[in-house]
Chains A and B, each alone.
Chain A
Amino acid sequence: MPEADRQSLMTPRGWAAFLAVGFVLIVLIPVANRLVTPGGALHLPEYLVPLIGKYCCYAMLAVAMDLIWGYAGILSLGQGAFFALGGYCMGMYLMRQIGDRGVYKNPVLPDFMVFLNWKELPWYWHGFDMFWFAALMVVVVPGVLAFVLGWLAFRSRVTGVYLSIITQALTFALMLAFFRNNMGFGGNNGLTDFKDLLGFTVQSQPTRVGLLIASAIGLGLAFLLCRWIITSKLGRVCLALRDAESRVRFLGYSPTGAKLFVFVVAAMISGVAGALYVPQVGIINPGEFSPANSIEIAIWVAVGGRGTLAGAILGAFIVNAAKTWLTGAAPEVWLFFLGALFIVVTLFLPHGVVGIVRDWQARRSAARATVLASTRPAEAT
């Protein structure tokens, strides 16, 4: 990444691209879905709205992953856990919104608790009937967990593959815990059958468009926040950590502080992404904690181009679009495809899709330079 990229929040071209993508997601897509009459050539089919909204959530996750992995060199393979925790916080709010409209008509207890013969709400479910509280927990729960884990790991100088293993273990342990019925999170089935969110019917098309817009705004804010961090001096300290951690220490910086900061920020962004994701897909279950999910996030970032936030977003959209298409067309192929993709990218495309684009631009300008050089003497003679 050239130095200029690291000093200002964004170049004019960067802003132009940022606003263009924002315009498409926040204005064009909603208009094409809501205002263009169905059947018209420009109409956007209903099913695409929550799908694109979902991709925006994944892209947020990828941006957070790139912040810690692409810039600070922390290969966390547990980011899916923070995403799922944010999702569960939102799910708990949505469950409490159901009220007495559940199958068992209990005004306080969600159906699965009635089914388990529970008489009262566990203490940790209190407060989740209020949106502001749930929204706060969406960032606090992942943030606190990341802080505790990060503090223990970074302070003891756990790095590289050991950190990856610890974070995988974390998400695996959480998955097993959330599978248990007596944890009070709906066990196997998770939380589902949501009715409304802030008074809007979750399943209705206008709400879905609203959620897409919220996800796009969330993605934009996450991008700007990460961009602000990496263009700050702390961002350069993170890059320096990747190059020579001991030099950073001997200059008097605490690597623990810098790593912990980005790790917690990334966890919080992931939590918000999960919270936006859950109402769009209508369910959250322990499967979201599956270690494979977290590994997939790293693959998106690697495919798009590690170390550029735009690349991370691109990677999330490309890989997930491929996943949507392939799991429909030939579901048994998907995992092989993902594995192959990862191998190809690691071996041949160390800078991902962004790297291809950059190479191509460089070659084109080099070619133009040689064309100019070869035409000039001809003109002279």
Chain B
Amino acid sequence: MNAAAVNVATGHDPVAETAPGDTLLYLEDVTVSFDGFKALNALSLAIAKGEMRTVIGPNGAGKTTMMDVITGKTRPDTGRVQFGDRIDLTRLDEAGVANLGIGRKFQKPTVFENLTVFENLELALKCDRGTFATLLARLDGSARRRIADMLDLIGLGEHRHRPAGALSHGQKQWLEIGMLLLTDPQLLLLDEPVAGMTDIETEQTAALFKELAGSHTLVVVEHDMQFVRELGVRVTVLHEGSVLAEGSLDHVQKDQRVVDVYLGR
């Protein structure tokens, strides 16, 4: 099946023409400053379709700001943020970016605390997001099944009727990941997904991400080096808003500049 056929078959798929291995997300010379302080400084980064990439860097390196720029929360002062072949992400707002199939997990797990686990997933499930469509939406059998499957995958089946606020930190992380997956994303941006998880939960998360890679594109920000090693993919080191080093974990850990940055010199 050629790329054009995919595009027709899926209606309006902005990135269908991007073949696996092509660049899906491209940041070029992105600069963001807050009152003169450059949180991102001429940052350039390319992520291929189906790739999983880990991003590390000391506190304040600009990792979260990078995600803010990609997801339309923060407008860059200069630079380009491109998704697929032609889409300029800097022109869209958060909802617009999300509806392109870009899902984001926040650094601090963010779920709807007063809604139940089930309702959290219900709201996340991909569907028409229009106001009137939402007003008239009813859960059909296939939607319920997808939610039930997701509850199994994230291990929260028995908690489905509990308010999400009553979950443990690790469980909230998983719920948020489950919510992201139900939006059918192309690109997943995960900001410190295993913070607060037990070792076993961390291992399970690594296994899940490895399974997702290939069919999804993942950008994982993490401080937990054990987890980064477990994922075993290309690592980008951010420092003071730009890329300091890139390569395998072993490679960047041998880099003297990276060592200096982490030891605070």
Which residues of chain A have a CB within 8 Å of any CB of chain B?
Answer: 3, 6, 229, 232-234, 236-237, 239-240, 242-244, 246-254, 257-258, 260-261
The answer to whether A244 and B110 touch across the interface, beta carbons within 8 angstroms, is: yes
The answer for the CA separation of A236 and B95 in the assembled complex, in Å, is 17
Chain B residues within an 8 Å CB radius of A3: 115-116, 118-119, 161
B contact residues, range: 20 to 34
Whether B183 contacts A243 by the Cβ 8 Å rule is no
A259 CB to closest chain B CB (Å) equals: 9
A254 touches B123 (CB 8 A): no
Contacts of A242 in B (CB 8 A): 114
How far, in angstroms, from A246 to B183 measured CA to CA in the complex?
Answer: 16
State the total of A-B contacts with C-beta under 8 angstroms.
Answer: 88
**Option from B115, B129, B136 in Cβ contact (under 8 Å) with A252:** B129
B134 lies within 8 A of A232 (CB): yes
The answer to whether B131 touches A257, judged by C-beta atoms less than 8 angstroms apart, is yes
Residue of A nearest to B130 (CB): A257
User: How far is B131's CA from A261's CA once the two chains are assembled, in angstroms?
Assistant: 8
Q: Which residues of A contact B130 (CB under 8 A)?
A: 257
Binds A, one of B57-65, B98-106, B208-216: B98-106
- CA of A73 to CA of B259 in the docked complex: distance in angstroms? 48
A239 partner, pick from B103, B114, B134, B135, beta carbons under 8 A: B114
A233-B122, A240-B112, A244-B110 provided; 16 other pairs, C-beta below 8 A? A232-B134, A232-B135, A233-B123, A243-B111, A244-B112, A246-B106, A246-B110, A247-B106, A247-B112, A250-B95, A251-B129, A252-B95, A253-B95, A253-B134, A254-B95, A261-B135
**Contact, CB under 8 Å: A237 / B123:** yes
Cβ–Cβ < 8 Å partners of A253 in chain B: 95, 123, 129, 134
Q: Are A250 and B122 in contact (CB under 8 A)?
A: no
- Whether the Cβ atoms of B123 and A236 lie closer than 8 Å is yes
* Measured CA separation A239–B130 after assembly (Å): 17
For B123, what are the chain A residues with a Cβ–Cβ distance below 8 Å? 233, 236-237, 240, 248, 251, 253
Cα-based distance from A257 to B130 in the complex (angstroms): 8
B98 engages A250 (CB within 8 Å): yes
**B124 sits at the interface (CB 8 A):** yes
Interface of B is mostly: mixed
Closest partner residue, chain B, to A260 (CB atom) = B131
Q: Beyond A6-B119, A252-B98, is A234–B114 a contact (Cβ under 8 Å)?
A: no
Known A232-B136, A233-B123, A233-B135; contact A239-B98, beta-carbon cutoff 8 A: no
Measured in the bound complex, the distance between the Cα atoms of B125 and A126 in whole Å is 50
Task: Flag if B113 contacts A243 (CB, 8 Å).
Answer: yes
Interface residues of B (CB under 8 A from A): 71, 73, 93-95, 98-99, 103-104, 106, 110-116, 118-119, 122-124, 129-132, 134-137, 161, 179, 183
Shortest Cβ distance from B172 into chain A, in angstroms?
11
Report how far A232 CA is from B131 CA in the complex, Å: 11
What are the residues of chain B within 8 A of A240 when measuring CB–CB? Answer: 112, 115, 123
**In angstroms, how far is the closest chain B Cβ from the Cβ of A313?**
22
A and B contact pairs by CB, cutoff 8 A, 10 listed: A3-B119, A3-B161, A234-B135, A239-B112, A246-B73, A246-B110, A249-B95, A251-B179, A254-B129, A257-B130
From A232, A234, A250, B94 is in contact (CB under 8 Å) with A250
In the complex, are the beta carbons of A243 and B104 less than 8 A apart? no
Nearest chain B residue, comparing its CB with the CB of A257: B131
Residues on the B chain within 8 Å of A260, using CB = 131
Chain B residues with CB below 8 A from A243, complex form: 111-115
Instruction: List the B side residues contacting A261 at CB < 8 Å.
Output: 131-132, 135
**CB <8 Å contact, B183 and A252:** yes
Contact A258 B122 (CB under 8 A): no
A247–B111 CB distance below 8 A: yes
Q: How far is the CA of A232 from the CA of B119 in the complex (A)?
A: 11
Q: How far is the CA of A250 from the CA of B187 in the complex (A)?
A: 13
Q: How far is the CA of A250 from the CA of B112 in the complex (A)?
A: 13
Per the bound structure, the CA–CA distance linking A236 and B106 in Å amounts to 21
Residues of chain A contacted by B136 (CB below 8 angstroms): 232
Report Cα–Cα, A371/B183, bound state, in Å: 49
Rounded to whole Å, the gap between the CB of B130 and the closest CB of chain A is: 7
Enumerate chain B residues within 8 angstroms of A249, measured Cβ to Cβ. Answer: 93-95, 98
Provide the bound-state CA to CA distance between A253 and B137, in Å: 14
The CA-CA distance from A218 to B211 in the complex, in Å, is 56
Inter-chain CA distance A249–B93, complex, in Å, is 9
Measured between beta carbons, the chain A residues less than 8 angstroms from B110 are 244, 246-247
In contact, A250 and B118 (Cβ under 8 angstroms): no
Interchain CB contact under 8 A, A244 and B111: yes
Ordered nearest first, which 8 A-B pairs have the shortest CB separation?
Answer: A257-B131, A252-B98, A249-B94, A234-B135, A240-B112, A233-B137, A252-B99, A243-B112
Q: Closest Cβ of chain B: how far from A156's Cβ, in Å? A: 12
Q: How far is the CA of A254 from the CA of B132 in the complex (A)?
A: 12
For the complex, give the distance between the alpha carbons of A239 and B165 in Å: 13
